[in-house]
Chains A and B, each alone.
Chain A
Amino acid sequence: MECAEPRVASLMRVEEKDDLVREFEARLVESSTLAFRVAYGVLRHREDAEDVAQEAFAKAYRSFRQLRDRDRFRAWLVRMTWRMAIDRMRTNRRRGAHEVTVDPGDNNPEPQSGRTPEQTAEAEERSVHLWRAIDALPEKLRVVTVLAAIEGHDMAEVSRLLEVPEGTVKWRLFAARKELQEKLQWLTRTTR
């Protein structure tokens, strides 16, 4: 009888841990692409983005038990991944390991059909300008721009992920687009 109590307690702990792992597994499957894209939106480097997303999941797993409201997991993960990606970008810049530039062929290795080489070069140049302009945005505007550009995200979803009112998201997105247009016009004029 005396031995039974610790055994029951240990069995309960094992069951609890199994539940935790199962729940985390479900979150991992549904949020892996999101975490990767958020990291990629900052780093624009596939391997670095995967490293950061993996690190963010490991960190999330370590603290998953303390997360009371599990419905906020995605928002929590997005903010954590964003912060870690920014840190990684700064580290990369300090080390000079590789300049954070746009690699248009990174996500589309095959040239798009129906495009001439001139069109492809022009699209690449436009993309370079765009990302430079995005990098120059203030962080609050930048995160809204990136999250809104991820497929399937509307204002309400961005609002949930950042845990700010929807009106704030709209205003930030409007300000970001306006600033982007100004920067892009200036970049286009200076490069021609």
Chain B
Amino acid sequence: MADENHTMNDQSIDRALREALDVSPSPDFVARVRTRIANEPASRSVWSRWAVWTPVAAGALAAAIALAVWVAKPAREVRLPAPSVAEGKPDTTAATNVPRQPVPTVRLKPDTTIVTKIPVVSAFPSLALGTSRRTVVARKEPEILISQSESAALRRLIARASEAQIVVNDSPLSASDSGPDPSAAVQPLPEIQPLKIDPIVPVDGQEGVRQ
């Protein structure tokens, strides 16, 4: 009996559902769909979309690259003539084994511009050798006032440092001498006599009495 009720329930549910869904669209439904489709833009193929978007993407990419190059360009470049010395391999040695190079020029007038020759270090020697000119960036440093004597001393110091002939001297006046100064030899210290301390003796009075 319970099984029969269960089956009846299933059947009644199915019947109710079928009745509820036994609906049809209005007669003009298909015609409206046709009108709607006719107003739709023609569906494009995937390739036609690519054909539209590829040039746009390429143009955008080219513009981005041009912008990046323009932003990365240094503010000022000074091209100097090629150095007279024959250019060999580019200098890629470490700082501990730096070959001799000309002393940087220091102009000590107002509006001093220090032009530093930057050694070209390239990871691609073939590319570096291909160029006949070296680009040297001139940086404008703030004005520095140095006296003539200090300037001369600095020049000597740099020149000797490059020749590894620096001698430490205690006399600043002997800096102009090229050889070691015999007068600057270490003198033996005079003998120091031991100190003799006499004990304090009270003078005519008891101890603790104010004198």
Q: Which residues in A have some Cβ–Cβ distance to B below 8 Å?
A: 17, 20, 24-25, 28-29, 32-33, 36-37, 40-41, 44, 46, 49-50, 53-54, 57-58, 61-66, 102, 104, 106-108, 126-127, 130-131, 134, 145-146, 149-151, 177, 180-181, 184
Contact = CB atoms under 8 A, between A and B. Distances in A.
A57 B37 contact: yes
Contacts of B45: 65
A50 B22 contact: no
A106 B36 contact: no
Interface string B17-29: 1111111111001
Given A54-B29, A65-B43, A177-B10, A24 B24 contact: no
B21 A54 contact: no
A33 B33 CA distance: 12
Contacts, number: 93
Contact of A149 (B6, B17, B32, B36): B17
Given A20-B43, A32-B33, A177-B10, 14 more contacts: A24-B37, A36-B29, A40-B23, A46-B23, A50-B25, A50-B29, A50-B32, A54-B33, A54-B36, A66-B46, A107-B22, A131-B20, A149-B17, A184-B9
Interface of B: 6, 9-10, 13-14, 16-26, 29-30, 32-34, 36-37, 40, 42-43, 45-46
Nearest to B20: A127
B40 A32 contact: no
Contacts of A36: 23-25, 29
A58 B23 contact: no
B6 to A, nearest CB: 8
A149 to B, nearest CB: 4
A18 B33 CA distance: 17
Contact of B24 (A33, A54, A134): A33
Contacts of B32: 50, 54
Contacts of A37: 21, 23
B23 A106 contact: yes
A58 B38 CA distance: 9
Among B9, B13, B40, max chain A CB count under 10 A is at B13
A151 B21 contact: yes
Given A63-B43, A65-B43, A177-B10, A57 B33 contact: yes
Contacts of A66: 46
